[in-house]
Amino acid sequence: MDINPEPEWEGVIEKLKLQKGVAFLIGATDSGKSTLAKYILKRLIREDIIVSVVDSDIGQSTLGLPGTITMNVFSEEEDIKDYSVSGRFEKMFFVGSTNPAKKINIMVDGSKKMVELCRKKSDVV
């Protein structure tokens, strides 16, 4: 699938290249979050930047299983082929629900733990 980037995406990529750190993608269902994440991954990996993804969408997970927060580290373009294959992840945090509103404290705690782990393993999360 070819991705047609929005003009604003280049600014996000430039900031991540310079500042590293953590970016947080949030938006409505089917608003392009996964497409943007995949585009950022490809662009940064081509610059030899190691990127981690934390998937905390417990109801509609891209990386992991429903009811879990998962993370994966990507360092080569080959790694991205498995991006949307459910069950391909490095670490998993069990939430136990597909409704984040019912488990907000667990969601925050699990996401924080995954981001902290990713920061040790990559340049950008």
Average confidence score pLDDT of the chain: 89
pLDDT in tens, 12-29: 999 999 999 999 999 888
In the DSSP assignment, the letter for residue 27 is -
- What residues does each domain of the chain span? 7-121
pLDDT digits (tens, 9 = 90+) for 27-38: 888 888 888 988
The DSSP call for residue 104 is: H
- Domain covering 7-121 assigned CATH 3.40.50.300 in the classification: yes
According to DSSP, the β-strands at 68-74 and 51-55 are: antiparallel
Q: Report, as an integer, the average pLDDT of 47-73.
A: 91
At 85-101, the pLDDT tens digits run 555 788 999 999 999 89
Q: 92 and 65 in contact (C-beta within 8 Å)?
A: yes
In this prediction, residue 31 carries a pLDDT of 85
Say if pTM beats, i.e. exceeds, 0.75: yes
